[in-house]
Copies of this chain bind each other. A is one copy, B any other.
Amino acid sequence: MNSRDAVTRLAALAHDQRLAIFRLLVKEGPNGLPAGEIADAVGATPTGASFHLKELDRAGLIHATRVGRYIRYAVHFEGMRQFLSFLTEDCCQGNPELCGPTIKKARKLCKGETK
């Protein structure tokens, strides 16, 4: 996880419909949803949904699997965790207590769980 990857992921999420898609899939869990349902849920055209799903896929935030003639998309949870972890890396020069207890705890967990 380097800076370039992080910018790619941030840019992928920095869009109304793509963020809605991502959060929908986060809610949905590992099973994910077919592209058509996603498009309906966020009010996107088939073309638009396809474009945005591709962006999220390329960024490593979701992944696609074909099931019959449907294509299901689900969150790539490891990619998501790496990403959240990256944003808070080296928080307060390694002394997260400086940031107050809220971040301290979150940071500790994220870090401890990095491979």
Copies of this chain: 2
Chain B's closest residue to A112 (CB) is: B105
Residues from 37 to 76 in A contacting B, C-beta threshold 8 Å: 75
Chain A interface main SS type: helix
In this complex, the interface size class of chain A, counting residues with CB under 8 Å from chain B, is 35 or more
Known A84-B84, A109-B106; judge A10-B14 contact (CB<8 A): yes
Contact B93 A81 (CB under 8 A): no
* Complexed CA–CA distance, A22 and B91 (Å): 11
Which A residues are closer than 8 A to B by beta carbons?
3-4, 6-7, 10-11, 13-16, 19-20, 22-23, 26-30, 75, 77-78, 80-81, 84, 87-93, 95, 98-100, 102-103, 105-106, 109-110, 113
